[in-house]
Amino acid sequence: MNKAFVLVNTNLGSEAEVELELKKVGGIVGVHEVYGVYDLVIEVEAESQQKLKEIIFSRIRTLKNVRSTLTLTTVAT
């Protein structure tokens, strides 16, 4: 299983809306609101690196009110 953590910056005040949309996306196993530089931390799992990339690029980064992301791909679990 391939896993990544995606750190997300949202437009001001849209964290809850983005969180609701993310919870509808297959492959996302956790969405956490955080304080600090980023607004959300998303835990993503997929059966391949290609599927992981597809979820991040096509389903997370394209959401309305997502300003930027930083992806941390795990090397071992």
Residue ranges per structural domain of the chain: 2-73
N residues, the chain: 77
Per-residue pLDDT reduced to its tens digit, 20-44: 999 999 999 999 999 999 999 999 9
Walk across the sheet containing 2-10 and list its strands: 28-33, 40-46, 2-10, 66-73
Q: What angle do CA 50, 55, 38 make, to 5 degrees?
A: 120
pLDDT score for 77:
62
Domain 2-73 maps to which CATH number in 3.30.70.920, 3.30.1860.10, 3.30.2290.10, 3.60.15.30? Answer: 3.30.70.920
Residue 53: pLDDT band (50, 70, 90) is very high
